[in-house]
Structures are given as structure tokens and as C-alpha cells.
Chains A and B, each alone.
Chain A
Amino acid sequence: MAEHITCQEVVELVTDYIDRALPADEAALFEQHINFCDGCIFYVEQMRATVATVGRIEEEDVPPETKDKLMAAFREWKRS
């Protein structure tokens, strides 16, 4: 691999970097790059903020009728 990576490469590696899924040599190049590049530091922070914002989406609740049906199915299952 090259001895340095560009900003354009950083934006494609950032998900694996955040997930700690980069191989050690690529992680080292990634970190070397962001040590010197404010633009990419901002980009990584934007991605972290994006993940955090997506994480604030609430999952849908079970509609009460559905829950009643499923609980009835569970009682049925218990009896059988």
C-alpha cells in the first residue's frame, strides 16, 4: 500500500475506521493522515455525529391489538 492516503481515500475508509475494522497498516495510515488534516478530522467528526443522530431515531412501538394477538399466541403455545 502507498505510504500515505488522500482525503478522497479517507472518506471511503471512515466507516471501517469508526468500527475499528481497518487492518492495522491502513489504520496507521488513516491516523497519520488525520493528524495533519483538519478537513478530515471534521469529516470523521461529522460521520460520528451522523451515527449518533441516526441512533436517536426511535423504533416503532407494537400496536396494542398486535400485542394482544401475540400474547394470546404465547398462551396458546404454552398450553400445547
Chain B
Amino acid sequence: MAQTKIQTVPTAADEAALLARLRAGDERAFEALVERHYGTMLAVARGYVKSRAVAEEVVQEAWLGVLKGLDRFEGRSSLRTWIIRIVANIAQTRGAREARSVPLSALAPEGDEAAVDPDRFRGQQDAFPGHWRQYPSDWEVLPEESLLGRETLDLVMRVVSELPPAQRQVITLRDISGFSADEVCAALDVSAGNQRVLLHRARSRVRAALEGHLDG
């Protein structure tokens, strides 16, 4: 189930063919590229700049940057990784000017953050320290619509939108846009370790919110 988006990582052959069409001026290919990546780019830009309107401007500027660089793109990363790198760079610059932005270091996870409230585990004095006091519930027995329903999806959308920017960017790229861990590291210029921590915290927060909703 969790693996459903993995296969969307493009192959080298797909990429070469797409690149050739773009360079040949194929409008359909460019239109499809825009449709495919616009939402992801907007989500990434919004991690760095204040308003949606500015994020939209950043994305448009990024597309101009893509066109400008297309002939020189060497394929050292995937095309989409390169595109996200461009939008992230522009958005970072814009964000720094706006002076609210996440400083570059904010892409590193801050402080400690437990995936699950420590009180849910038995203490050091207990016979089984670190074990569940009470098991999490079995979601497989829930009626199908409780996980698949609109209400649950709306909740998850809200929780994702309220995550700290770096966590939101990573979970969006990984779990919504289907980027691989390596692609995210290259696109956002984060280390493998930080990518994993940010994804882990983001998913853990969403799970906790879902638990509150489903078990509540």
C-alpha cells in the first residue's frame, strides 16, 4: 500500500525521450510537463515564501528558468529533481528577501520530537520499560469508509498543510508527488539523514492526527 507511488520514478529512457521532445519544441510535451509538476512546485515554493500569490510568481519564474537551462541540462539528476531544485532556489531567494523565510538551516530537523507521546509507553520502573501501556488500535477492522472517506482526507490535507515547512516539503515530495528519497535530497539539498528524520516526523504527526480522528 505504501509503495503505490514508487514506480512513478521516471526511467532514464523515459527522461531522454521527454528531453528530446522538449528540446525539439514539442508543445504537447511541455504542456504535459507543466501539468505534471506545477502542483509539486507550488507546494515546494510555499515552504519558503509568505503568500500563495508570491509562490505562484516563483513557480512561473522557475519555468522560465527551466526553459533557459533546458539545452544545458545534463541529466545528472532526474528532470523533475532539477526542476524542483530550480523552484526551491528561486523561492529561497525570494523568501530571504521577504525575511520571513525559513533560513537555509531550517531544512535540518529541529530538536527532538517523539513519534508517539512517551506517556504511552511503560516507564523505567516497570517490568517492561518502553513497551506499550495500551496497544494502538487495529485500523484494518475499521469500516472502509473511515480511512477512505472525504472527512479523513480533508483532515489529512489540513494536517499536512500545517506541518513545519521542511517537513511539509519532504512529505509532499515523497508521499504525494512520489519522489524517491534520493531525488528529495537532491531537489531540496538536504542530507539523507535529515530527509529521513523530516519524513519520519511528518508521517508520525499525520498518523497521530489520524489516530485521534479514527479512534476518537
The answer to whether A70 touches B200, judged by C-beta atoms less than 8 angstroms apart, is: no
The answer to whether A60 touches B39, judged by C-beta atoms less than 8 angstroms apart, is: yes
Q: How far is the CA of A73 from the CA of B178 in the complex (A)?
A: 28
Which of B11-19, B80-88, B91-99, B135-143 faces chain A?
B135-143
Q: Is B9 an interface residue (CB 8 A)?
A: no
The tally of residues in A whose CB lies under 8 Å from a CB in B reads 47
The answer to whether B34 touches A45, judged by C-beta atoms less than 8 angstroms apart, is: no
Taking the closest CB of chain A, its distance from the CB of B105, in whole angstroms, is 22
Q: How far is the CA of A73 from the CA of B30 in the complex (A)?
A: 11
Chain B residues, CB < 8 A from A18? 2
Chain B residues, CB < 8 A from A49? 1, 139, 147, 210
Chain B interface, >50% SS class:
helix
Q: How far is the CA of A58 from the CA of B181 in the complex (A)?
A: 20
Partner-B contacts on A (CB < 8 A): 6-9, 11-12, 14-16, 18-19, 21, 37-40, 42-43, 45-63, 66-67, 69-71, 73-75, 77-78
Q: With A8-B116, A75-B27, A77-B70 given, can you name 13 additional A-B contacts, CB distance below 8 Å?
A: A6-B130, A7-B130, A21-B196, A39-B131, A43-B136, A45-B140, A56-B156, A60-B39, A61-B35, A63-B56, A70-B30, A74-B30, A77-B68
The answer to whether B63 touches A73, judged by C-beta atoms less than 8 angstroms apart, is: yes
The answer to whether B132 touches A70, judged by C-beta atoms less than 8 angstroms apart, is: no
Closest residue of chain A to B131 (Cβ to Cβ) is A7
Chain B residues, CB < 8 A from A63? 56
Taking the closest CB of chain B, its distance from the CB of A28, in whole angstroms, is 18
The answer to whether B136 touches A71, judged by C-beta atoms less than 8 angstroms apart, is: no
**B4 contacts which of A14, A37, A52, A61 (Cβ < 8 Å)?**
A52
Interface centre among B31, B35, B115 (most CB of A within 10 A): B115
Chain A residues, CB < 8 A from B60? 66, 69-70
Q: How far is the CA of A70 from the CA of B157 in the complex (A)?
A: 28
Taking the closest CB of chain A, its distance from the CB of B123, in whole angstroms, is 10
Closest residue of chain B to A69 (Cβ to Cβ) is B60
The answer to whether B139 touches A51, judged by C-beta atoms less than 8 angstroms apart, is: no
The answer to whether B147 touches A51, judged by C-beta atoms less than 8 angstroms apart, is: no
Taking the closest CB of chain B, its distance from the CB of A72, in whole angstroms, is 11
**A67 contacts which of B2, B34, B114, B206 (Cβ < 8 Å)?**
B34
